[in-house]
Amino acid sequence: MKAIVVVLKTTPASVLDDYRRLLHLAEYQGYIRKEHETILKLNLSWTKYFPACSTQPWQLEGVVRTLVEDGFAREALLPVENKTVVTDPRQGAVNNRWVPVLERYGLTFTPLPEVEWMVYRFKSPLLKLNDIFPDGIEIPKLYPGRQIIHLPTVKTHGHATTTGAIKNSFGGLLKEVRHYAHKHMHEVLVDLMYMQKELHPGMFAVMDGTVCGNGAGPRTMMPVVKNYLLASGDQVAIDAIAAKMMGFDPLSIPYLRMCHERELGVADPAHITVVGEDVSGVNFGFTVSRSLVIWGDQLIRKGPLQPLEKLLLHSPLMAWAPFASNVYHDFLWYPLVGRNRIRGFQRTEWGEVWDSYGQPRPPVQPESHFVTDKA
């Protein structure tokens, strides 16, 4: 098997045009067709804004702008995101400045908890999810038959080593009880690839690496400016190249290796053609660590507290877990550590771009806007 991943360098001044070039180099219309409705699956790892944590507003605008320019009907573009036990998609869309981008292009954000869900019987040979959800896997009713574009960022993850396009589907195809899947994260990510191939007529991923996240991802990270953009029609391949750029051997990460072995995508860099930048020598030197919350979660699911797992995480008493997570992340780590890191980010050029998305912008009229841009 072979795969293509496009990687470009970018700047704050050129990022929207670079996203357009990225999608065109990746020949995205070979995967995403105008005649189908398109789910834009955003990535919300925290209700609050933290650099590299969730889909960046310029990432969202770069993709939406290109789609509208290329003639995709606005009413057929469906930006969505789900909730977890510790995130609020509506508030997250405001805090991460997605709402003004979507309003500018005439799109409406849809929180997945507010749509109808259905039990879907998958024909694919799932590894773990049928066992985790023996009564059936519930998915959003709007998913089957629609193509999807994933909008993750380049970052580490305490459960999965890295997180990207494949992990982004975790937040769309499973309800907030998906934390039950943390114990078997890598097998579940393989299941999600099987599920997506059964559900979607087309899949594509656009990953933002302008500001990447190192350390105890997906939230309590160190933001690092790297100025890269990635795109591919192969979710496994884009995650593999992102992992390699971060400094990891993709085939040593279980979910990538298992996807490669099952021919769900290509994880071996030797069989991935990188178009654009030469990243063969790129190594960010990232390391993965676990936040206090993820460490505690794994202590219960796989460690010495495992005999208490059902009581603590699968009974009404589990309400302590999201409460503890919110206290730690929002009321301890964020004010004591996170705000200092955000201030450092705000002193960068990307911080200035972030600030600009807090300013009012006029609605886009595609015909006149894009003719002016090309002039």
> 110 vs 31, 81, 166, CA distance in Å?
23, 7, 21
pLDDT of residue 159: 86
pLDDT of residue 372: 34
Contact between 53 and 330 (Cβ < 8 Å): no
pLDDT of residue 374: 35
Contact between 81 and 171 (Cβ < 8 Å): yes
pLDDT of residue 292: 62
Bridge-partner residues for 224, per DSSP?
A: 212
Task: Look at the block and give the residue holding tokens 């078997």.
Answer: 184
Instruction: Name the nearest CA neighbour of 46 among 79, 78, 80, 83.
Output: 83
pLDDT of residue 373: 39
Residue 62 makes CB contacts below 8 A (sequence gap 6+) with 15, 16, 18, 19, 20, 22, 206
Ramachandran quadrant class, 155 (left: phi over 0; alpha: psi -120 to 50; beta: rest): beta
Would you write out the chain's pLDDT as a tens digit for each of its 375 residues?
799 999 999 999 999 999 999 999 999 999 999 999 999 999 999 999 999 999 999 999 999 999 999 999 999 999 999 998 778 999 999 999 999 999 999 999 999 999 999 999 999 999 999 998 888 999 999 999 999 999 999 999 988 999 999 999 998 998 866 567 778 899 999 999 999 999 999 999 999 999 999 999 899 999 999 999 999 999 999 999 999 999 999 999 999 999 999 999 999 999 999 999 999 999 999 999 876 666 566 666 677 867 866 765 666 656 667 778 888 899 999 999 999 999 999 999 999 999 999 988 889 876 544 433 332
Q: pTM of the prediction?
A: 0.93
What own/partner pairs with CB < 8 Å and gap ≥ 24 does 223-227 have? Answer: 223/50, 223/51, 223/52, 223/341, 223/344, 223/345, 224/52, 224/284, 224/286, 225/348, 225/350, 226/154, 226/284, 227/9, 227/10, 227/11
Angle 174-179-180 from CA coordinates, rounded to 5°: 95
Q: Which domains does the chain have, with CATH numbers?
A: 3-374 (3.40.50.11440)
In one letter, which amino acid is 308?
L
Contact between 19 and 63 (Cβ < 8 Å): yes
> 317 vs 309, 310, 329, CA distance in Å?
11, 10, 20
Contact between 57 and 355 (Cβ < 8 Å): no
pLDDT of residue 318: 66
pLDDT of residue 366: 60
Reduce the DSSP state of residue 261 to 3 states and report it. Answer: helix
Whether a cis peptide bond, with omega within 30° of 0, leads into 269 is no
pLDDT of residue 369: 43
